[in-house]
Structure 1
Amino acid sequence: MVNSGSIMNYGDYLENLFDLIVFLYLPAEIRIPRLKAREEARFGSANPDFLAWAAQYDAGPAVGSRSLANHTAWLSQRTCRVLRLEGDMTVETRVRLVVAELKRLALLPHP
């Protein structure tokens, strides 16, 4: 199974079903301008309230499911391997790291 996005509070059975969780994280100074550009490309503009909400992820309140603190706590409770890819890197680098981890876990064959 491949999932994109958070599944916090979906229940332990589903949350612990994975062989590997890949957690992608970019700091707000990189993430928010990219989010703004993506919203403008898709919708013609970016909602300032949405961008302000998204910017609270790193230091925002621990209430609700969408915060770095809550995701970090959730990741620490998982029973599978968690690969954290933090910081700005190319898509190629991310793919290489994920493929290497999948091979290490014997989830992909070695050539």
Structure 2
Amino acid sequence: MARILIIGGSGAGTLTLGRALASALATQHFDVDDFFWHPTDPPFTARRNEAERVALMERMFLPRADWVLSGSPMGWGDAVIPRLSHVVFLTLAPGLRIDRLIARETARYGARIAPGGDLAAAHREFVDWAAGYDDPTFLRRSRRTQEDWLARLPCPLLRLDAGADLAALLPLVQGWLDRTDAAP
């Protein structure tokens, strides 16, 4: 049984590693954003309330024997904590993380986030928010608040520098899972 959370700052690669790990383990992958936000256009504008998020997670995957979840349920998803078997924490140099984030958003939204695009202001706000992650005085989700949250988890934690490519990271996680008897 493996119920794995992959967490880190925006742009660190949690979604990429989560999808690849779920595929390698022949299990399903879920993204916290799909539970946190209602599907809208423009995206990421309407939050679900906490009870709705948790209820949706309960219906979709939490009772299953194995799954991979990418993203941060910190601050609202405490129902996930007792279900976790393992957590992978990805870190990445701030400049590289923001570069990856901007590249990802450009690939997703193209001209919509360019100056004059309908998502330009939201994109700038998102990048500014994401850049605050490494500032220990940042009052929203930050590396410091994630580190504090991770320190309270009752399951094994693997810390990885996400500067390596996926082909290098995936076997590190798989080997760790094998050593901790979490692989399904």
TM normalised by structure 1 equals: 0.86
Following TM superposition, by how much is the alpha carbon of 1:96 offset from its aligned partner in structure 2, in angstroms? 0.7
Equivalent residue for 2:89?
23
Equivalent residue for 1:2?
68
CA gap of 1:49–1:23, structure 2 versus 1, over 3 A, is same
**Structure (1 or 2) with the greater helix fraction:** 2
Q: How many Å separate the matches in 1 of 2:162 and 2:149?
A: 20
Within 5 Å, give how 1:50-69 maps onto structure 2.
Answer: 50-64=126-140, 66-69=141-144
Following TM superposition, by how much is the alpha carbon of 1:61 offset from its aligned partner in structure 2, in angstroms? 3.3
Q: CA RMSD in A?
A: 1.7
Q: How many Å separate the matches in 1 of 2:130 and 2:138?
A: 14
For structure 2, list consecutive stretches of 5 or more residues without a partner in the other structure.
Answer: 1-66, 115-122
Following TM superposition, by how much is the alpha carbon of 1:87 offset from its aligned partner in structure 2, in angstroms? 4.3
Query: For this pair of structures, how many residues does the alignment match?
Result: 107
Equivalent residue for 2:170?
95
Following TM superposition, by how much is the alpha carbon of 1:62 offset from its aligned partner in structure 2, in angstroms? 4.8
For structure 1, list consecutive stretches of 5 or more residues without a partner in the other structure.
Answer: none
- Secondary structure of residue in 2 paired with 1:108: coil
Q: How many Å separate the matches in 2 of 1:107 and 1:59?
A: 34
TM normalised by structure 2 equals: 0.54
Question: Among the aligned pairs, what percent are the same residue?
Answer: 36
